[in-house]
Amino acid sequence: MPEQERAQLPPIGALVVDRSRNDRVGEFRGVAGPYWSLRPVGGGPEWEADPDNVRPATRDERVGARTAYENARSRGEVA
């Protein structure tokens, strides 16, 4: 991968928004061919996203995703 493209990758674990999935927030996990691998906050099945449809999550989106996960965890819905 050219150095210029590599510089545009978010760090592993960074929260991003997949616009092609109704602005779903996910953790960046790496590159899979032409796609980026994302997974739900707190874990779960990864999905592939076209990098052109992904943007960094805003502060409010990051807080909201983490809060939703913690609330689900406290209800016993996720581990």
**Domain of residue 38, CATH code:** 2.30.30
Range of the domain at 52: 3-74
Mean pLDDT of 59-79: 93
Give me the number of domains the chain comprises.
1
In a domain, 40, yes or no: yes
Residue 8 — pLDDT band, cuts 50, 70, 90? confident
Question: Is residue 79 in a domain?
Answer: no
- Rounded to whole angstroms, the Cα distance separating 12 from 37 reads 10
pLDDT of residue 54: 97
Model pTM?
Answer: 0.85
Contacts of 22 (CB under 8 A, 6+ apart): none
Instruction: Provide DSSP, the chain.
Output: --HHHHHTSPPTT-EEEEGGGTTEEEEEEEEETTEEEEE-TT----EEE-GGGEEEPPHHHHHHHHHHHHHHHHTTS--
Band (3; pLDDT cuts 50, 70, 90): very low
